[in-house]
Amino acid sequence: GEVSATPEPNESEYLSPVSIGGQTLNLDFDTGSADLWVFSTSLSSSSIGQHAAFDPSKSSTWEDYPGASWQIMYGDGSGASGTVGFDVVEIGGATASRQAVEIATKVSSSFVSDENNDGLLGLGFSKINTIEPQPQKTFFESILPKLDQPVFTADLEDDAAGTYEFGRIDTTKYTGTLHVTPVDSSNGFWEFASTAYSIGGTTYQNSGASTAIADTGTSLLLVDDNVAQAFYAQVQGSQLSRTAGGYVYPCSAQVPDFGVQIGSSGFIATIPGSDITFAEVGQGTCFGGVQGNGGGGIQIFGDVLLKQYFAVFNGGNESFGIAAK
């Protein structure tokens, strides 16, 4: 079947309405993790705040998973944990009839204060699902056998809503070639080779990190530290600010186009310099959307890059593709 879920854009995430046991929550679709977890009525009311909270006792289709638990820590240091059950999960028309749903009994402060999301829907590979004693399938893996095509697509926009579709590639959503690269899922991510980058139209080989993941749950574009340093060397007045947590520059600075290679094929996905600023941090200073990955071996291609393109995640042949739109 074909479905589409329309994420509501927020500066740092794309949210989509998800029905669980008949209750609707706005979840952050995250290709960088593989847990589907929700704010629940088991949390303290101060943690719940304005969030929608799932109440298993009000779902006629809820099934407990006795003795199971989960605990996740994300790349940004946030985390959550709790208990597990199964329920009917429906997104824009596609239904997983017995999907593992992770009930949060603890969430870190960044989730409490992020009133936009009522939990996360992981679209990574279930080998990194954190449920004990047995990892469970993601929503995408649950519905995969029923889909016309074993794919989902992400069409993220800056200010307008973006769209996730499961089971089809809407060819009207992109122009020109779909640049496809094989994915190595052994780390549980949509990971592919990326060994080159471009600044202002000139291409360079990346001597540091050699792979990258497509991560819809990360706002920024986190590249090898040497690549970030080379990029900001070409932004007048830029500096690495510990207080801001990354490279900042005068908002009036001329920012060059920046590109990163997708796969070893040679395609360089480019971001216009005018789309690279992520936020103003005051006093005419701007925080860049391109930042270093802190020395990890893997680069993280988040929304700053993904919103420039139409992205195809293929669970059938394990590949990742992007096209201009």
Ligand X SMILES: N[C@H]1[C@H](O)[C@@H](Sc2ccccc2)[C@@H]2OC[C@H]1O2
Tokens of 322: 């992007």
The DSSP symbol for 220 reads S
118 binds ligand X (CB under 6 A): no
Residue 234 C-beta: closest distance to ligand X, Å: 27
**String marking each residue 24-63 x if it binds ligand X according to CB under 6 A:** ----x-x-xx------------------------------
Among this protein's residues, is 30 annotated catalytic?
yes
DSSP, collapsed to helix, strand or coil, labels residue 144 as helix
* Interface with ligand X in residues 91-110 (CB under 6 A): 110
Q: Among residues 28 and 165, whose Cβ is nearest to ligand X? A: 28
Among 59, 61, 78, 185, binds ligand X (CB under 6 A): 78
Tokens representing 39? 């704010």
191 binds ligand X (CB under 6 A): no
Catalytic residue among 28, 30, 87, 118: 30
Element (H, E) at 5: strand 3-5
Residue of the chain from 218, 291, 308, 319 that contacts ligand X (CB under 6 A) = 218
* 78/74 Cα distance (integer angstroms): 5
Question: Binding ligand X by CB under 6 A: which of 5, 7, 9, 13?
Answer: 13
Residue 215 engages ligand X in binding (rule: CB under 6 A): yes
Compute the chain's Rg from CA coordinates: 20
Beta bridge partners, 261, equal: 268
**Residue 10 token pair:** 């927020």
Of 85, 167, 217, 246, the one binding ligand X by CB under 6 A: 217
Catalytic residue among 35, 118, 155, 215: 215
- Based on CB atoms, which residue is closest to ligand X, 189 or 249? 189
18: its two tokens? 């998800």
For residue 161 the two structure tokens come to 């809503």
C-beta of 8: minimal distance to ligand X in Å? 14
Q: Which of 169, 147, 290 is nearest to 223 (CA)?
A: 290
Q: Which helix (H) or strand (E) holds 101?
A: strand 94-107
Q: Is there a contact between 132 and 275 (Cβ–Cβ < 8 Å)? A: no
Q: Name the site residues for ligand X (rule: CB under 6 A).
A: 13, 28, 30, 32-33, 74-76, 78, 110-111, 114, 117, 215, 217-218
Q: What are the residue numbers of the active site?
A: 30, 215
